[in-house]
Structures are given as C-alpha cells and as structure tokens.
C-alpha cells in the first residue's frame, strides 16, 4: 500500500479512562487523505480526548492510533511533524500584526523565507488587506482564519480543528467554513470536532457520531440521512434557511 493509499488517520479500539470515568470505550474510525472528517458529540462524549490522543498530548489506555502512517505511541515526534492542532480559541498574539504572527511562527519552525510564507498564507486566507493591522483590531472570524493560517506554516498534511467556530458570530462562522473547505480542496486532511450539526453538514465528507465513548454511526451525510425514513407530506414548499436570509441581507 502506497503512502497516498494509507488513510491519513487510523484509530482502532481506542480506550481512555480518568479514574472510574470511562471516556473512550473502543473508538474506531479512519480518515481518508484530503478529506474533512467531522466527529460529532455532546459535551463529555470524548471528542477532545480523542483529539488529544491523536495529537500525542495524552496517552491511551488501550487501542492504537496512527497519523500520516505514524503510530502515536511509538513515533510521537513523526506524528507531531505531520499535524497541526487548532483549539477552541484563537492562539494569536494581539499585540502583533497578522503578518508578524505568521513570520514569528515560520521563524520558530526554522523555515526559509518566512516573509514569503506569511504573504502566501495571508493571501490564501483573504487577510492581505489586514496584514499590517494589529490582531487586536481583527474580528472573531479574522482571528480564527489567522489562527488556521498559522497552523499551516510548514504545510502539515493533517490539521485538527477542535470546535473551530466556538463563540463566533454568523459571519465569522461562514468565513471559517470557507477556509476549512479550501484546506481540503488543496489536499489537507481535516479532522473537525464540533457540536454544530449544520457545520458538519456544510463541511464534512464523512461524519461520525461519538456517544458515551463509542462511535455509534459513521458515514457520508447521504448515508446518515438514509437511517431515517423520509417524511410523507402532501405539499413541499422550500423555505429559505437562516443562512440564506443572512447572506442576502449582508450582500455576500
């Protein structure tokens, strides 16, 4: 099996407990390269614990997990080189400008031409016009887009987004959605944890639902919808969604 055929993420029988609390009870899933995989679940379902194990920040009690072909337990350094993790809140320096944040990360990673890297990412995430502004003047959506851009310094093949739109207004959420979809379109594998069903519906190629420490369903949106019988109605009238109304009113 070639590198491109190996799933970007492989999880088998993952278990984790905190004293008497069993958080993960045998989690299994795979994520194809260049796709967006959404892990859904309510608070306490085990989403963040799964993410932390995959990011080598936490050790599993049982089971195996691999990222970019590297086992998280036996090759943690290779795993860390293969991924970038973005948490629920943007990890940006508000005193610096957007460009300075990106240049700083590139220099910390000892990359050549940090200025060029910063400029390319600013353009990619539609932040060029705000490049010289302090991040303290950015909107929530702009900060989150900059945070994701910082995660891509060094071109990691896999990026983890843990609740990426928490606390954002509707416009900010849509901006982040566009950025995430663009990542996958350009070949980056995205593991997304979210509580927002519409977020998964808009972004994910595959969706898994984590409940009480287990994956209870895993499939495409179409496959998941087929789990419920269609409703019988006499007359169908399409109503605009809230997103339709919002985009119409703001002119985007």
Indicate left, alpha or beta for 155 from its phi (over 0: left) and psi (-120 to 50: alpha). left
pLDDT of the residue at 245: 61
Which of helix, strand or coil describes residue 7?
coil
Residue 158's DSSP bridge partners are 83, 189
In a domain, 180, yes or no: yes
pLDDT level of residue 2 (50, 70, 90 thresholds): low
Which residue intervals of the chain are DSSP H helices? 47-54, 76-82, 98-108, 114-124, 140-151, 170-185, 197-203, 221-225, 242-250
Q: What is the DSSP letter of 37?
A: E
Instruction: Give 202's Cβ-side CA count (13 Å radius).
Output: 17
Domain assignment present for 107:
no
Q: Residue range 14-36: average pLDDT?
A: 94
pLDDT band at residue 52 using 50, 70 and 90 as cut-offs? very high
Q: Residue 236 above 70 pLDDT?
A: no
Asked if residue 163 is part of any domain, the answer here is yes
* Assigned domain for 239 exists: no
Stretch 136-144: mean pLDDT: 89
Domain count, the chain: 1
Find the distance separating the first CA and the last CA of the chain, reported in whole Å.
44
Does residue 246 register a pLDDT over 80? Answer: no
Please provide the average confidence, as pLDDT, over all residues in the chain.
Answer: 87
- How sure is the predictor about 124, in pLDDT bands with cuts at 50, 70 and 90? confident
- When comparing pLDDT for 117 and 44, which is higher? 117
> Which residues face 85 on adjacent strands?
160
pLDDT at 160: 93
Q: What does the block give as tokens for 189?
A: 């594998």
The parent domain of residue 38 ranges over: 9-89+157-230
| Cα–Cα distance for residue pair 155/172, rounded to 1 Å | 24
- CA–CA separation, 173 and 250 (whole Å): 14
CA-based nearest residue to 192, from 207, 172, 175: 207
Which pLDDT value is given to residue 107? 94
Write down the pLDDT at residue 176: 83
Task: Tell me whether residue 117 is in a domain.
Answer: no
Indicate whether 110 belongs to any domain.
no
The model's confidence at residue 183, banded by pLDDT at 50, 70 and 90, is confident
Which CA distances in Å does 38 have to 87, 197, 201, 203, 228?
15, 10, 9, 8, 20
pLDDT at 1 over 80: no
Name which residue leads in pLDDT, 158 or 211. Answer: 158
What is the CATH classification number for the domain harbouring 14?
3.40.50.300
């Amino acid at each position: 099996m070639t590198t491109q055929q190996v799933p970007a993420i492989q999880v088998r029988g993952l278990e984790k407990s905190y004293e008497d609390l069993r958080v993960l009870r045998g989690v299994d899933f795979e994520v194809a390269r260049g796709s967006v995989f959404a892990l859904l679940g309510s608070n306490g379902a085990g989403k963040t614990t799964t993410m932390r194990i995959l990011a080598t920040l936490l050790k599993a009690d049982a089971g195996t997990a691999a990222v970019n072909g590297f086992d998280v337990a036996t090759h943690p350094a290779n795993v860390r080189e293969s991924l970038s993790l973005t948490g629920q809140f943007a990890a940006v320096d508000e005193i610096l400008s957007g460009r300075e944040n990106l240049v700083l990360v590139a220099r910390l990673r000892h990359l050549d031409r940090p200025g060029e890297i910063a400029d390319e990412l600013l353009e990619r995430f539609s932040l060029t016009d705000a490049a010289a502004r302090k991040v303290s003047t950015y909107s929530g959506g702009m900060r989150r887009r900059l945070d994701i851009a910082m995660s891509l310094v060094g071109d990691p093949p896999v990026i983890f987004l843990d609740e990426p739109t928490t606390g954002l207004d509707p416009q900010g959420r849509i901006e982040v959605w566009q950025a995430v979809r663009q990542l996958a379109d350009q070949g980056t594998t995205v593991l997304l944890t979210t509580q927002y069903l519409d977020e998964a519906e808009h972004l994910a190629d595959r969706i898994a639902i984590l409940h009480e420490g287990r994956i209870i369903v895993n499939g495409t949106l179409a496959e998941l919808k087929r789990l419920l019988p269609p409703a019988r109605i006499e007359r169908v009238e399409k109503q605009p969604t809230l997103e339709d109304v919002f985009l119409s009113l703001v002119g985007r």
